[in-house]
Amino acid sequence: MAQRTPSQHARSTRGAGLGTEPSSAVWDVVARVDTGELATAAALLHNLHPADQADALAALDGRERRRLLDRIDSHTLAELLPFLTPEELEHVAPDVALPQLTAALDETPAQLGADVLHAIPLTDAELVLDRLPKAGLVEPLLQHDDDSAGGIMAPELMVLGPHLAAEQALTVLRAAAPAPTVRDTVYIVDTEGVLLGSIGLHSLVFAPPMTALRDLMEPIGPTVTTDMDQEDALKILQRFGLHALPVLDDDGRLVGVTTSDDLLDIAQQEATEDMYRLVGLVDDQALTTPVTTALRRRLPWLLLNLATAFAAAAVVAAFESTLARVAALAIFLPIIAGQGGNAGMQVTTLAVRAMALGEFDRHFTRLVLPRETIIGIVSGIAFGLLVGVVGWVWQDNPWLGVAVGAAMLGTMVVAGLFGLLIPIILRGLGADPALAASIFVTTATDMLGFLFFLGLAALLIQRIA
């Protein structure tokens, strides 16, 4: 996501009505376009905050959107582009005429330009780049991985040499009239472009006018390289409480910054990924994903789930003769499976989240494993007694109560252990610890839970039947 300049907010004369939801005027615009009143729609759109303008464009269908886009100027387009989500950008960008898009991108930060060019066909992107005055800033961004610090960095910075005096520095910056992404920091580099330090604009303004920048500058703090994973860049930014993190090339030259604004989006993406992976939603998807894509992405993992369900079924099959003698045993299978699966998933969720937030280490495992074992035993005893008594009374058979109660205890302990071990094992194998963890955890609890219960019932069959 790109940075937004303050002028973009100038159109809304009061803060009133700028809330968490799109204003109702957005739906007016959409309705006017639908009824063909394009001039009215364009006039209404023009009075909206760019965030609302972006919502209106995103809410339209392709054909209607293209009609409305014909009526708006490239400056308006440049102002609203930063407010489209990455997914909305993928839908909207291909609908914009190339000359209009080129003019708009000359006004937007290079980082957003790169996002837009990623969203349109390659041949179109090349046509835009050929005509874009600031192509020199945008092109390097396209060469880095989407998920790397180099792919998300902003190259527009205030950069000066170390020998200028504070007063001169302000004069130079004023003459350059830059629109930097980080507006409160001036970066100091040597003649090769190698980062030497930085000065807060605040310090620069309030420093004695003749002080040289090299005497004002603060030493380099944490930095990242262009190829670093964005998730690691996020962790460093958070760990050191920074607003912006300089991105260096392999020779230590400053090529951009990644800011906490970008990383908010990334933090939410990463959280989304973890939640999805826990239930076997592995590739990029949302409720809006087209049906065929959604099927292609969900079916393989549901197939894995089915395969593991057959493993649990095989355990039940091994005890078919026991079940044939006491059909009521089948009643308790969903109880064992449901309770074990939920308890296991609770622990897995806690473990996956702790790993994602960098709060899980070996030290920690030594503490947590015994703790989850105790929790499993205590809750196993509580629910074992409860289920045992209910089983006894319901089926009027104390020995069935013993079998289901003891199996419940065993299942709860196993749930805690596997809930913790499965993310650890997945991570140890180099996979994402959340990867389809629910499938593996519930398979383990189902299989062992059924084994405990039907195994005990088989041993006690003379007394239960």
**Residues of span 111-150 touching a copy of itself by CB under 8 A:** none
Torsion of Cα atoms, 73 then 76 then 79 then 85, to 10°:
-90
For the residues of 181-194, what is the DSSP string, one character each? SSTTEEEEE-TT-B
**Residues 254-273 interacting with a copy of itself (rule: CB under 8 A):** 260-261, 263-265, 267-268, 271-272
User: Which window, 97-105, 114-122, 310-318, 457-465, contacts a copy of itself (CB under 8 A)?
Assistant: 310-318
Quote the least distance from Cβ 130 to a copy of itself, whole Å.
29
Which strand (E) or helix (H) includes residue 244?
A: strand 244-248
Nearest to a copy of itself of 2, 137 (CB atom): 2
Count of residues near a copy of itself by CB under 8 A? 139
Quote the least distance from Cβ 402 to a copy of itself, whole Å.
18
User: Which window, 33-41, 128-136, 353-361, 425-433, contacts a copy of itself (CB under 8 A)?
Assistant: 353-361
Quote the least distance from Cβ 174 to a copy of itself, whole Å.
5
Kindly provide the b/e burial profile for residues 95-107, where b requires at least 16 CB atoms within 10 angstroms of the residue's own CB: bbeeebbbbbbbb
Nearest to a copy of itself of 36, 300 (CB atom): 300
Nearest to a copy of itself of 18, 97 (CB atom): 18
Non-local (6+) Cβ contacts of 3 within 8 A are 82, 109, 111, 154, 181, 259, 261
Quote the least distance from Cβ 268 to a copy of itself, whole Å.
6
Which amino acid is it at 106? D
Residue 389 contacts a copy of itself per CB under 8 A: no
Quote the least distance from Cβ 133 to a copy of itself, whole Å.
22
Quote the least distance from Cβ 162 to a copy of itself, whole Å.
16
Nearest to a copy of itself of 127, 375 (CB atom): 375
**Residues 196-255 interacting with a copy of itself (rule: CB under 8 A):** 198, 200-203, 205-206, 218-223, 232, 235-236, 238-243, 246
Is the alpha carbon torsion for 384, 386, 389, 391 positive or negative?
negative
Residue 40 contacts a copy of itself per CB under 8 A: no
Quote the least distance from Cβ 97 to a copy of itself, whole Å.
25
Nearest to a copy of itself of 303, 459 (CB atom): 303
Non-local (6+) Cβ contacts of 223 within 8 A are 195, 245, 246, 247, 248
Non-local (6+) Cβ contacts of 439 within 8 A are 280, 301, 304, 305, 308
Q: In the block, which residue shows the tokens 């473990």?
A: 351
SS3 annotation, 250-316: CCCEEEEEEEHHHHHHHHHHHHHHHHHHHCCCCCCCCCCCCHHHHHHHHHHHHHHHHHHHHHHHHHH
Quote the least distance from Cβ 363 to a copy of itself, whole Å.
8
Non-local (6+) Cβ contacts of 153 within 8 A are 111, 141, 144, 226, 247, 255, 256, 257, 258
**Residues 413-442 interacting with a copy of itself (rule: CB under 8 A):** 438-439, 442
Q: Which of 298, 389, 427, 431 binds a copy of itself (CB under 8 A)?
A: 298
Nearest to a copy of itself of 97, 271 (CB atom): 271
Quote the least distance from Cβ 263 to a copy of itself, whole Å.
7
Nearest to a copy of itself of 125, 204 (CB atom): 204
**Residues 61-100 interacting with a copy of itself (rule: CB under 8 A):** 82-83, 85
Quote the least distance from Cβ 327 to a copy of itself, whole Å.
4
Q: How far is CA 329 from CA 152, 260, 282, 413, in A?
A: 57, 56, 36, 22
**Residues 152-171 interacting with a copy of itself (rule: CB under 8 A):** 170
Strand-pair category, 185-189 with 195-200: antiparallel
Q: How far is CA 186 from CA 163, 213, 248, 260, in A?
A: 14, 10, 15, 17
